[in-house]
Amino acid sequence: MENNIQHSDIFAIALHHRFQWEEAQQSYVILFPEGMVKLHGGAGEILKRVDGKASVGDIVAELQAAFPDVEDIESDIVGMFDLAVGKAWLRKVN
């Protein structure tokens, strides 16, 4: 999938999709018509910061500060954006 995520890109959760914390599963999920994606640890941490205002760069900086011990967190984050855009869970705002 070649979506070519830029640091300046700003995303929001796609139309008709809902992002929420599920207590029973102790994880974040994305809900859409008749479907659901369960987001494991890191993926949930990334997508909960997607609000239509923060850029990919902002999110990278925030997570680098929050998880200083994780090696090359930036490529994980960009990879997650790439996946989420490819699956149409996110829409580009800018």
Partner 1 sequence: MAQLNNGVAASVTQKQPLWLLAEVTYRCPLHCAFCYNPTDYDKHTKNELTTAQWISALRDARKLGAIQLGISGGEPLLRDDIEEIVSEAHKLGYYSNLITSGVGLTEKRIQAFKEGGLDHIQLSMHDVTEDISNFITDTRTFELKKKVAAMIKSHGYPMVLNVVIHRYNIDQVGKILEMAEALGADYVELANTQYYGWSLVNRDQLMPTREQLDRAEAATNAFRERVGNKMKVFFVVPDYFADRPKKCMNGWGEVFMIVTANGDVLPCHSARVLPGMTFPNVRENGLEWAWKESPAFTKYRGMDWMKEPCRSCDEKENDLGGCRCQSYLLSGDAEMADPVCTKSPNRHLIDEALVNSQNPLVREQPIIFRTDKNSKKYVEGDKERIAQFHALP
Q: Site residues (CB under 8 A) for partner 1?
A: 15-16, 18, 20, 22, 24-25, 29, 31-40, 43, 88
Q: CB 9: neighbour CB atoms within 10 A?
A: 18
Q: How far is the CB of 28 from partner 1 (least distance, A)?
A: 11
Alpha helices in 1-72 (DSSP H): 41-47, 56-66
Closer residue to partner 1 in complex, CB, 39/73: 39
In angstroms, what is the minimal distance from the CB of 11 to partner 1? 15
Buried b (16+ CB within 10 A) or exposed e, 13-44: bbeebebeeeeeeeebbbebeeeebebeeebb
Of 29 and 61, the one with the shorter C-beta distance to partner 1 is 29
CB of 6 to partner 1, least distance (A): 19
